[in-house]
Amino acid sequence: MRNEHGRVELSGVAAADVTASFEGVAIERVAGDVKLEARHGDVNIEGIGGALDLNSRHGSVSVSGVTGPSKLDVQHGNVEVRRSAGLEVDLAHGELKAETIGGDVVVRGQHAPVHGVDVTGRAEVETTFGDVRLERVGGDVAARVEHGGVTASDVSGSVNLETTHNGVTLERVAGAVEAKVEHGGLEAKGLAHGARIRVTGSDVTLDGFAGPVDIEVERGSARLAPGGVIDAEIAARATHGDVRLEVPEGSRFELEAESVRGRVDAPLEGLTTEDEGHRGQRASGRHAGGGVSVRLKADGDVTLESRPVRSRDGWAAARPHTGEKTTTPEAPAVATSPKPKAAPQPTPVPAPVAPAEKPAEPGSASASR
């Protein structure tokens, strides 16, 4: 179908190949594939039994209920996708919202914020001048963002990030994390398999982590709080900042710590501190008999603080919601004939009561007998 300067509405067909311009397009209930090229108009697509191939310029796009994969190329328009069996998007000068994707999500954007929720596969996003937010991803996450931040939560796979001019927030990541952040900081909670992090211009905070950790911070500080006993290597270096490590009770490690221009505070069993004058302080030793390696270095202060072990309940990554609902149909009501009304019964009338005889007066005939 080819149409110029007019709206297109199409429904209930086997397949569709449409070109339209200067008005909107609405396509629904198509059994097979849909191919659409639209210009200067909004697009609404719903209920596609096959794959979707869409090219749109200067208009918003709404897509829902696509059984096959969706491939979208959109410029100068926002995009919203719900329930698709996979999603690939090239987007310029618009915002993407994707929800309940039964497969992988691949996004290449320019000036395009991205928000993805409930992705059963992996999520791969590259964009500029916009933030990326991902929630409940069943596979790995990879994101490259210029002039934007990244927020990712409940990731069942690994996370690999590069961002500039904004920060990173992570919560409940089951796989390993690798992140490079320029002119921004990083805050993470519940990393299950360690992290390798490089940050410039702000701080790094890791709370409730497990696994090996390697941190480098320029012009910022590092605060590390393991979720359980320290049983994997930890290395943290901070220039123009401090390093602070919380040590859960029961941890065993071998320490090498150095402060270039500040102090080393390590009041734990088996550790000794040496003052090197203008070269700062050092601390070393084997805590609780020694174990894994812990290496800390900072221009500022280095602090180790003992604390009780915390529970890791609630740190597990949640799985994506698939959007599928199972319902049990209600049984049809059985028609019944109304019961006949009983005939009204007459109200019984009480029998009249005979008046009692008046007693005879003295001197009367009956009394003289």
3-class DSSP string for 145-189: EECECEEEEEECCCEEEEEECCCEEEEEECCCEEEEEECCCEEEE
Condensed to tens digits (0 to 9), the pLDDT of residues 188-212 reads 999 999 999 999 999 999 999 999 9
| For range 72-89, the mean pLDDT | 98
* Contact call for residues 296 and 257 (beta carbons, < 8 A): yes
Q: Where are the domains of the chain?
A: 1-97, 122-319
pLDDT exceeds 70 at position 267: yes
The angle subtended at Cα 295 by Cα 157 and Cα 301, nearest 5°, is: 110
Least reliable range by pLDDT among 153-157, 233-237, 323-327, 330-334 = 330-334
- DSSP H helices, 199-283, are none
Q: What are phi and psi of 263, to 5 degrees?
A: -120, 155
Question: What are the angstrom distances between the C-alpha of 331 and each of 103, 276, 328?
Answer: 36, 84, 9
DSSP assigned state of 362: T
* Contact call for residues 51 and 65 (beta carbons, < 8 A): no
What percentage of the chain reaches a pLDDT higher than 70? Answer: 87
pLDDT of residue 183: 96
Q: Report the alpha-carbon distance of residue 344 to residue 292 in Å, rounded.
A: 95
Residue type (1 letter), 23: E
CA Rg value for the chain: 38
The bridge status of strand 43-48 relative to strand 61-66 is parallel
Positive or negative torsion for Cα 224, 228, 229, 232: negative
Report the residue count for the chain.
Answer: 369
Give the residue among 104, 44, 13 at the shortest CA–CA distance from 1: 13
Q: Report the alpha-carbon distance of residue 132 to residue 117 in Å, rounded.
A: 11
pLDDT exceeds 70 at position 328: no
Give the residue among 250, 245, 303, 251 at the shortest CA–CA distance from 273: 303
Average pLDDT of the chain, as a whole number: 89
Three-class secondary structure of residue 268 per DSSP = coil
* Contact call for residues 127 and 115 (beta carbons, < 8 A): no
pLDDT exceeds 90 at position 335: no
Q: Report the alpha-carbon distance of residue 168 to residue 226 in Å, rounded.
A: 19
Q: What's the token pair of residue 39?
A: 């210009």
Condensed to tens digits (0 to 9), the pLDDT of residues 113-124 reads 999 999 999 999
Q: What is the 3-state secondary structure (H, E, C) of 278-335?
A: HHCEEEEEEECCCCEEEEEEECCCEEEEEECCCCCCCCCCCCCCCCCCCCCCCCCCCC
* Contact call for residues 84 and 102 (beta carbons, < 8 A): yes
Q: Report the alpha-carbon distance of residue 153 to residue 170 in Å, rounded.
A: 6
Q: Report the alpha-carbon distance of residue 170 to residue 134 in Å, rounded.
A: 10
pLDDT exceeds 60 at position 145: yes
pLDDT exceeds 70 at position 327: no
